[in-house]
Amino acid sequence: MCPPDYFGVFYEINPWMHQENRPDFELAQEQWHNLVATLRRAGAKVETIEPVKGLPDMVFVANAGLVDGQRLILSRFRHAERQPESIYTSQWFQARGREVAELVGGSDIYFEGGGDAFPFCGSLLAGYGFRSDLSSHAVLSRLLGVPVHSIKLVDPRFYHFDISFSPLDSRHAIINPAAWDRASNAIIEQLVPEPLVLELDEALTFCANSVVVGKVIIMPACPSRVGRILERWGYDVCVSPVSEFLKAGGAVRCLTLPLDMTISKFWSFLAGAICGTVHSSLNFYSMTNDPASTVLTGRSKGCDRTFKAVEHVRLAGHDHLNGLVVFITTYFTLCHAQHSFLVALSSIFSPYLSQYDTYQE
């Protein structure tokens, strides 16, 4: 996190920023420190980067880059006002022994870090349209060795993906469908088994811009319906008001950058492939006892992610495991999903895949 010592609204680069409606400096300081205390009570460890005079939006560190283990994929900001932030972010990570990777490509490829990208069940969901470019997604896929699902943002009020999407675990996410185009909604519907779909008035409270620490969800606001659903799912909701930061278009998630995130780990995307294959095959098997029908539907829908996994294995340098992936693919292509085989398969892979609820079921 970055202390708000130089925070303010001194320019306008999103629909929420109005120079005539500037934040209360002392209240912003109080809200930021309260958020830090709340995160620590929830069990998070908070590290800080030194703020820089003249960079008021540096407080929104979610946009600084995307953390992948001991590596940071550095952001390339669209607006000139924020571009100098990358210098200080890079220095901070390098001083702590972390690798800093930059996007390889044209100088006009923009990507705004954790504000526009989330790992989810072995893949990366990445937004584009207002700040990040679609062309950055192919670069991210090569850097991380995971598939990237591109989500087109269409409402300028939700100019970053993290204002409309908040993954909670491998089954649940808070989503605002009004922020995306139709094709992107179809992608989210396919990937998230149990979404919490926000109404527009709920989404405008920035409740999707939240931070999850274990089973605690820290939000800038929590509409009553949203709170009831989250509690039913077993989460403890903690509201940490950030009204002064909302005047600049950011909230709780925007003010934090997770440092413990690993995206390119081999087992994560192999698990994602198996998750999709097993989940789809079980669904199709429950619909029909006709082996031919199961083969056709399972091959076309259930196995697509597994076929892609072979290439991701190669990119990660694990070519010796290609046979394993092909074996899994072949089974679900040629046979309908027998429960006894799935039980045996789960006993082999459960040490690696226990964090994936879909696979466990």
Return the axis-axis angle of helices 266-287 and 304-315, rounded to nearest 10°.
170
| 336 belongs to the catalytic site | no
| 160 belongs to the catalytic site | yes
Find, among 134, 127, 73, 115, the residue nearest to 262 by Cα.
Answer: 73
The pair phi, psi for residue 211, each rounded to 5°, is -120, 135
Contact in structure between 74 and 84 (CB atoms under 8 Å): no
Q: What whole-number distance in Å separates Cα of residue 192 and Cα of residue 128?
A: 19
From 207, 254, 275, 303, the catalytic residue: 254
Contact in structure between 90 and 100 (CB atoms under 8 Å): yes
Q: What are the residues whose beta carbons fall under 8 Å from the beta carbon of 147, sequence distance 6 or more? A: 122, 123, 124, 141, 269, 272, 305, 308, 312
Q: What is the 3-state secondary structure (H, E, C) of the chain?
A: CCCCCCCCCCCCCCCCCCCCCCCCHHHHHHHHHHHHHHHHHHCCCCCCCCCCCCCHHHHCHHHHEEEECCEEEECECCCCCCCCHHHHHHHHHHHCCCEEECCCCCCCCCECHHHCEEEECCEEEEEECCCCCCHHHHHHHHHHCCCEEEEEECCHHHCCHHHCEEECCCCEEEECHHHECHHHHHHHHHHCCEEEECCHHHHCCCCCCCEEECCEEEECCCCHHHHHHHHHCCCEEEECCCHHHHCCCCCCHHHCCCCCCCCCCHHHHHHHHHHHHHHHHHHHHHHCCCHHHHHHHHHHHHCHHHHHHHHHHHHCCCHHHHHHHHHHHHHHHHCCCCHHHHHHHHHHHHHHHCCCHHHHC
From 2, 121, 137, 160, the catalytic residue: 160
Residues annotated catalytic, as ranges: 160, 254
